Amino acid sequence: MDGNEYLLEMLVRERLDEARAARAWRTLGARARPSRPPFRARVGAALIALGERLAGTPTPRRACAPSSASHG
C-alpha cells in the first residue's frame, strides 16, 4: 500500500503544479489586456446611440460659457 500512496501523492502534486502554472498564465494574460466594459454594456450603449440617431434626438453638447467682459 505504501507504493500506491506515494504514487497517488506524486500524481496529485503534478496536477496541482499544472493547475498553478495554468492560473499563472491566465493571470498574466489578463494583466496584458486592456480592461474594457462588458459586452452587454457595449451593446446597450450602441443600441441607445442608434435609437437616439433614429429618433433624431440631438446629442448633448457642451455649452459655451458666456464671456464675462462688460460692455459698458
pLDDT digits (tens, 9 = 90+) for 4-38: 889 999 999 999 999 999 999 988 877 777 778 89
pLDDT confidence band for 63 (50 / 70 / 90): low
- With respect to residue 15, please indicate whether it lies within any of the assigned structural domains: yes
- With respect to residue 21, please indicate whether it lies within any of the assigned structural domains: yes
- With respect to residue 1, please indicate whether it lies within any of the assigned structural domains: yes
Global pTM? Answer: 0.41
How far apart are the C-alpha atoms of 45 and 51, rounded to whole Å?
Answer: 10
Residue type at 20? Answer: R
How far apart are the C-alpha atoms of 13 and 49, rounded to whole Å?
Answer: 53
Pick 3 or 71 by higher pLDDT: 3
Residue type at 50? Answer: L
| Grid coordinates of 9 | 501523492
How far apart are the C-alpha atoms of 1 and 9, rounded to whole Å?
Answer: 12
The domain in which residue 5 lies consists of 1-33
- With respect to residue 18, please indicate whether it lies within any of the assigned structural domains: yes
pLDDT confidence band for 64 (50 / 70 / 90): low
- With respect to residue 29, please indicate whether it lies within any of the assigned structural domains: yes
User: What is the tally of structural domains in the chain?
Assistant: 1
How far apart are the C-alpha atoms of 24 and 16, rounded to whole Å?
Answer: 12
